[in-house]
Structures are given as structure tokens and as C-alpha cells.
Amino acid sequence: MTPIHFTVGNERAVKVIPNTQGQVDGHPVLTYTYNIYADSNFDDAHTLQRQESELLLEKKLDPNYLGYITFEEPGKLFSYTADGYDDLTSGEVEEIIEHITHYRENPGMWAADEF
């Protein structure tokens, strides 16, 4: 799955990468954990590959890492873990949850969007 890119809060550009990618009967299954990175105009294929390779590591090394959001019960309970180099505000977390929820409810958009 490709990351999704958007801005939140005071024009903070972010990139959201699902923690895992699974498939059932050939259709993508979206994960419940999403890694959040500050999005840079200078990100290249190597940067994305490095970020994706860190997905399952306990501690992320990328300086753009902002933590992760877990959907405990979609639509009801979410948690944000700020274990990156910078923290998101509660408003930014809420906006990110709204964006992820939109993509979860419309999974065809995740692969269809061109970033």
C-alpha cells in the first residue's frame, strides 16, 4: 500500500504508512496501526523504503517519525503513541484519525490515489 499524504493543523505536512499490509481473497486488508511521519518534499524512494523497513522495529530511527495511531475500536476508541522526535497536537491527531477513517471506509482510495 502506498502512503497517504495530507496536511493537518497549521499546515503540517504528514505521511501515513500502515504498519502492516495483508490481503484476503486478493483484496487489501487495512491494519489497525498507522505510522505517522512529517512529510518532506525531499522524500524519495530510498526514504520511503527505509521508513517501510522500520515499520516493525520497536524504536524508529527516522528523524521525521511522529509516532503512531492505533484504532482500538474503529469509530470509537483510538490511541496516539508519541514515540518519535516530535509530538502531534491533539487537534492534529484528530485530523489524522479523520483522514485515516475516510480511507478505511473507502479502501479502494488508498491504492487509487497518486501521491
Domain with 31 in it: 4-112
Q: Which of 88, 97, 39 is nearest to 63 (CA)?
A: 39
| CB burial readout 47-73, b (16+ within 10 A) else e | eeeebbebbeeeebeeebbbbbbebee
* Count of domains observed in the chain: 1
Q: Kindly report, residue by residue over 48-106, the tens digit of the pLDDT.
A: 676 766 665 667 778 888 999 988 776 778 889 998 888 999 999 999 999 988 888 88
pTM over 0.85: no
Q: Kindly report, residue by residue over 24-59, the tens digit of the pLDDT.
A: 666 655 567 888 989 876 566 667 676 766 665 667
